Structure 1
Amino acid sequence: MLSNALLLLGCSFIVLCGWWIWVAVIYHWFFSPIQQLQGPETHGPFRTQLHCIMEPELSPRYHDQWVLKYGKTMRVYGFGEFDPRILTLDPLAMSHVLNHPTTYPKPWQSRRIISELIGNGLFSAEGPSHRRQRKVLNPAFSNQNLQALAPIFSAKALQLRDIWNGMLGQADEVSVNVSRWISRATFDVIGLAGFNYEFDALKAESNLVYRAYREMFQVGLDEGFTARSILEVFLPALKTLLPDKRTKTIKKCHGVIYGVGREILEAKKREVEETSVSAQHNKDLLTLMIRSNLSLNITKDQRISDRDMLDEVNSFFFAGSDSTSLALSWALFLLAVYPDTQRRLREELNSLDDGVAFSAIDGLPFLDKVCKEELRLIPPVHSSLRVAAREDVLPLSTPVRLRSGSTITQLRVPKGTCIHVPVEGFNLLKEVWGPDAHAFNPDRWDSLPPAARDQPGLYSNIMTFSAGPRACIGQRFSIIEMKIFIFHLVRSFEFISRERIIKRNVVLTRPFVAGQRASQLPLIIRRL
């Protein structure tokens, strides 16, 4: 009996290994339709092309070269030739992927990494959970509610202006790590706008919650993707059995963040329940979200839990602070590199007074073009990834020539195929945006090339805020904040760049001084 059981177990193991070799190796290597696509070669079975796709100092050049050589839809290799993937810059194909999030969700590995830091909010939730969260959050992010937050943005922009003036003192100029200061300011903004909580990060970096967020995000940036962190994705029990510094830091920081978050949430829930809607004055996003979650328009099965709400607050800080601060920092950098554009923008900004309403700032045409061009040129989210949850057919607007010589206008996508979402690629492709696609030229928005008007994207034909049902809910929040900060800071200071700044994709596209490890953006500021 024992020998028969062992024989059966051995046969099952052999069959399982054979099945895995067929699915993971032989099929993908020899028979997958993805392998029939043309694409760059790796010159070695275990070489990867991910650095060409995901590093912003390299990717624009490779995207242009590969599209010219292979067409807009091609095969690339992830972790070696056993991992063929689709890279497409075809607008019809990408629209199809982003408009069918159930068929093309984020890979579970990506979701696990995201949720470890910021919980199961909008960034990591999929399917019914994501739809419930989106339904509850949508009213809070209406244009009317967001414009009501403009005074918070202005107050923090003016506070930052005063701090920089103090740093200048009697000097003609001073070097400022712009990205660090902007990050502190946007953190204050999301604290007040998100749930009416004052971090006072611009005054001092001593608040416990602020320090917990900073420490949590920093440990992820400092350590990056190590062999240990990748192994933990597949064996999460390691974090419990053998916790390392990263795991311990995140656990400690979550204790602070969720502890304070629960106190704020309970207080706000009592306030909403005990006060009539007409008598409520707070317009912060958490109050609006609680009100939406309790409204008669939301059925009981559509409501989200307190834990979900806390995860959303956590997500607000990641998106509302980190990504917006980077967009603002890159905008000031580009204005420093293009002084004529900076002077021209300042002339337009000076046509308005300091205390003007946001509607007047929003109506400034050149400021609008500058913001669009920065968001096109250096999107905070460089790229993303999707995986086919089932077999599907990908429509193509541009026919693709296969390795066999035949031409196709649609591509069969096997279940489990990874598809890269080249956010920056869609924004910078010379074939679409013209020969100066990699340059900062706000005037391009006066007359876009016809091909650019066909690009997918929630905002102005660019992919910076993604597209489809999972497009960025905070797009308008970011743009209002950008315009108000630029309005106050560029009217007050001249920005000059004297360092060689490079872009690196470290979760988001961050500035680095060439040759240095820590992310920073030193600019010279002069008082006007």
Structure 2
Amino acid sequence: MVNQLLLVVLSAPLVYLLYLIFIQPRYNPLRNLPGPPSKGLFRDQLGMVMNPSVSPRTHEHFVKTYGRNVMIRGILPWDLRLFTLDPLTLAHVMKHSHIYEKPWQSRRLITGLIGCGMLAAEGAVHKRQRRVATPAFSVQNMRELVPLVFAKGDELKEKWLEMVREAEKETEETGGLKLDVCHWVSRATFDVIGSAGFDYQFNAIQNETNELFSAYKEMFEVAVSQQSGALWGLAVIYLPILETLFLLAITWMLYLMARYPDVQARLRAELLSLLPPTPLSALTPDEVSRLYAGIAELKFLENVIREAMRLIPPVHSSARVATRDDVLPAATPVRTRMPDGSTQEVKEVRVPKGAFIHVPVEGFNLDREVWGPDGWAFKPDRWDNLPEAVVSQPGLYNNTLTFSAGPRACIGLRFSIIEIKTFLFILLTHFTFAESDEKVGKANVVLTRPYVIGKHMAGSQCPLLVTPYVPEGAQYS
């Protein structure tokens, strides 16, 4: 009797596993959608949609071959997921955040790291936290932070000038210095967040030995350095968006300026038109606020930021999980296999409770059927004459998903734009940026992080040649 009972207990998990692998997927409505062929029970298709080096081509291939609502396989055999680039479907998912929540894996990991804040909370808890936090991000409060952001941007500028002068003394040569702008912008951003959010001076620009800064940096650099292993896969799949911590966006914008020197020169000319004759550090808070008001209205600066955020969104992709059975609307026909084995085109997708929805932020932003044949190119002037298809796209920021959409859209959008415009103004009016001898690639580790190709073990890096800007006819000293 005991042996029989033991046999039942031991066999129950095996039976359940066989049920998950062979039976449950047969009743999942997502299996009726078109999608790439399976290569085996434990061969997922997440890498091809989440690796920035291949994902643009993968996304486009999916749309052309299978349509805009596609079934892909997750890590486990029964993990059938909806990959969607249909704007109506995505809008429904992002709008109904009470139905489509972040996966529990995401929430558990982020809660373990920083507690159950807005990034991890769902439902009524998230609503309450967002309602409490929203006044802190009001227009008036953001304006009051402008002098602080300017002060940190100016401190970073002075630090770089000091480093360039020291390097020139040592080598007795001019010509700038190779700097890891990702590292330095992260330090400056950490200082801004410490002062603005916690009234705490990390002094990361001057000294990076602060324990909290070191711990945060280490947490993500381990993931970058192991991006080809299991840790990287889990981090990419389950860690949630951390919009408010490191606006890597500035690093990618400086990288794009280095790659496109004509755009850099044109933007610098626009920014120099507002550069005051007195040092920034000598301006009063009111003068800084008036200066930023002028910067905020610069047209080409706005276009460059929009285009950079579209082309390289800080968050490559995200995931949601259905908390109940639902029917998603679709703007484009979905080829669906019917019970009798025939295939019909319908304008809806049935999603079962527990199914993952893959939200391809980058794929949405780069969709060439929407943005045009040059949708993968960096062209800031496109924003002066957008295709009609763009205007109907969902998204908090300029019809893109860079800052998400719906009730969980990034609450820190205004703060992000202030920091980006301020740092670009200060850095581009005092330095020129050029590519170094090290090629930079993209790694999708929570955020889209730069790394030196062939040196991923070193973590996030974006080395650029940084040279003090000298106006034509002037002399650098």
Regarding TM over 0.5, the answer is yes
Partner SS state of residue 161, structure 2:
helix
Q: Which amino acid aligns with 1:385?
A: A
Cα offsets for 1:315-348 (capped at 9, x unmatched): 99x54332x1x10000000011011111110111
Q: Distance in 2 between matches of 1:229 and 1:400?
A: 33
Partner SS state of residue 321, structure 1:
coil
- Asked if 1:209 corresponds to 2:212, the answer is yes
> Quick one: which of 273, 276, 300 aligns to 1:366?
300
1:405 CA displacement: 2.2
Q: Distance in 2 between matches of 1:408 and 1:10?
A: 48
Q: Distance in 1 between matches of 2:270 and 2:307?
A: 17
- Asked if 1:107 corresponds to 2:103, the answer is yes
| Matching of residues 282-431 of structure 1 within 5 Å | 319-322=243-246, 324=247, 326-354=248-276, 355=288, 356-403=290-337, 404-431=342-369
Q: Distance in 2 between matches of 1:221 and 1:115?
A: 21
Report if aligned partners of 1:393, 1:412 keep a CA contact under 8 Å in 2: yes
- Asked if 1:491 corresponds to 2:432, the answer is no
1:478 CA displacement: 0.6
1:33 CA displacement: 1.4
1:151 matched residue in structure 2:
147
Q: Distance in 1 between matches of 2:427 and 2:65?
A: 44
> Quick one: which of 183, 197, 200 aligns to 1:194?
197
Report if aligned partners of 2:100, 2:322 keep a CA contact under 8 Å in 1: yes
Q: Distance in 2 between matches of 1:76 and 1:335?
A: 36
1:524 matched residue in structure 2:
465
1:438 matched residue in structure 2:
376
1:43 CA displacement: 2.6
> Quick one: which of 439, 442, 446 aligns to 1:507?
446
1:18 CA displacement: 4.5
1:83 matched residue in structure 2:
79
Report if aligned partners of 2:21, 2:77 keep a CA contact under 8 Å in 1: no
Q: Distance in 1 between matches of 2:212 and 2:10?
A: 50
Taking every aligned residue pair, what percent have the same amino acid on both sides?
49
1:107 CA displacement: 1.1
Quick one: structure 1 residues 511 and 128, their matched pair in 2 at CA, closer, same or farther if it must change by over 3 Å?
same
Quick one: structure 1 residues 401 and 212, their matched pair in 2 at CA, closer, same or farther if it must change by over 3 Å?
closer
Report if aligned partners of 1:117, 1:216 keep a CA contact under 8 Å in 2: no
Partner SS state of residue 476, structure 1:
helix
Report if aligned partners of 1:183, 1:321 keep a CA contact under 8 Å in 2: no
- Asked if 1:473 corresponds to 2:440, the answer is no
Cα offsets for 1:282-324 (capped at 9, x unmatched): xxxxxxxxxxxxxxxxxxxxxxxxxxxxxxxxx99x54332x1
Q: Distance in 1 between matches of 2:453 and 2:227?
A: 19
Quick one: structure 1 residues 57 and 98, their matched pair in 2 at CA, closer, same or farther if it must change by over 3 Å?
same
Count of residue correspondences: 439
Cα offsets for 1:11-31 (capped at 9, x unmatched): 687677555543553231x33
2:92 matched residue in structure 1:
96
Normalising by structure 2, report the TM-score: 0.86
Two-structure CA RMSD over aligned residues (Å): 2.4
Report if aligned partners of 2:224, 2:443 keep a CA contact under 8 Å in 1: no
Q: Distance in 2 between matches of 1:211 and 1:506?
A: 18
- Asked if 1:180 corresponds to 2:183, the answer is yes
1:222 CA displacement: 4.5
1:125 matched residue in structure 2:
121
Report if aligned partners of 2:220, 2:445 keep a CA contact under 8 Å in 1: no
Report if aligned partners of 1:186, 1:320 keep a CA contact under 8 Å in 2: no
Report if aligned partners of 2:224, 2:232 keep a CA contact under 8 Å in 1: no
Normalising by structure 1, report the TM-score: 0.78
Partner SS state of residue 371, structure 1:
helix
Q: Distance in 2 between matches of 1:111 and 1:480?
A: 29
Q: Which amino acid aligns with 1:196?
A: D
Q: Distance in 2 between matches of 1:44 and 1:216?
A: 33
Q: Distance in 2 between matches of 1:527 and 1:228?
A: 40
> Quick one: which of 131, 134, 140 aligns to 1:138?
134
2:41 matched residue in structure 1:
45
Cα offsets for 1:205-226 (capped at 9, x unmatched): 1333333433444445555696
Report if aligned partners of 2:100, 2:320 keep a CA contact under 8 Å in 1: yes
- Asked if 1:464 corresponds to 2:402, the answer is yes
1:69 matched residue in structure 2:
65
Q: Distance in 2 between matches of 1:12 and 1:406?
A: 45
Q: Which amino acid aligns with 1:432?
A: V
Report if aligned partners of 1:221, 1:507 keep a CA contact under 8 Å in 2: no
1:101 CA displacement: 1.4
Quick one: structure 1 residues 471 and 47, their matched pair in 2 at CA, closer, same or farther if it must change by over 3 Å?
same
Partner SS state of residue 388, structure 2:
coil
Q: Where do 5+ consecutive residues of structure 1 fail to align?
A: 233-314
Q: Which amino acid aligns with 2:264?
A: Q
Partner SS state of residue 357, structure 1:
helix
Report if aligned partners of 1:141, 1:473 keep a CA contact under 8 Å in 2: yes
Q: Distance in 2 between matches of 1:412 and 1:348?
A: 51
Q: Distance in 1 between matches of 2:208 and 2:97?
A: 39
2:24 matched residue in structure 1:
27
